[in-house]
């Protein structure tokens, strides 16, 4: 179980994704829905830090949620979110 989740690096990625959908649709409703789902997925990493698939020959893991990829690393009791990518 991870005690700490660090999202600092991926915060800009998350905000860009939410801003894109806000500009595209014109309301914040869908952006809020996406944000809620991403936060829930990241919260699950606290309980199951190794639930994501491992990239080949690296220590980086990733999760897939709909058409979003969340890249992260696990180091002891710390999960560091590296990037979020809208695929």
Q: What is the pLDDT of residue 57?
A: 87
Q: Where are the domains of the chain?
A: 4-86
Rounded to two decimals, the pTM is: 0.87
pLDDT digits (tens, 9 = 90+) for 16-31: 999 999 999 999 999 9
> What DSSP assignment string belongs to the chain?
--SEEE-GGGHHHHHHHHHHHHHHHSSSHHHHHHHHHHHHHHHHHHH-TT-SEEPTTSSEEEEEETTEEEEEEEETTEEEEEEEEE-
Sign of the torsion angle spanned by Cα atoms 61, 87, 40, 7: positive
The CATH class, in words, for 4-86 is alpha beta
- Asked whether the predicted pLDDT for residue 9 surpasses 90, the reply is no
Average model confidence (pLDDT) across the chain: 91
pLDDT digits (tens, 9 = 90+) for 52-65: 999 988 999 999 98
Find where tokens 């999202």 sit: 7
Cβ pair 81, 39 in contact under 8 A: no
């Amino acid at each position: 179980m991870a005690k700490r989740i660090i999202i600092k690096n991926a915060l800009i990625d998350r905000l860009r994704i939410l801003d894109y959908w806000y500009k595209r649709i014109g309301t914040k409703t869908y952006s809020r829905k996406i944000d809620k789902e991403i936060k829930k997925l990241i919260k699950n990493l606290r309980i199951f830090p190794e639930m994501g698939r491992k990239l080949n020959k690296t220590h980086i893991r990733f999760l897939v949620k709909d058409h979003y990829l969340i890249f992260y690393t696990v180091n002891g009791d710390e999960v560091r979110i590296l990037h979020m990518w809208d695929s």
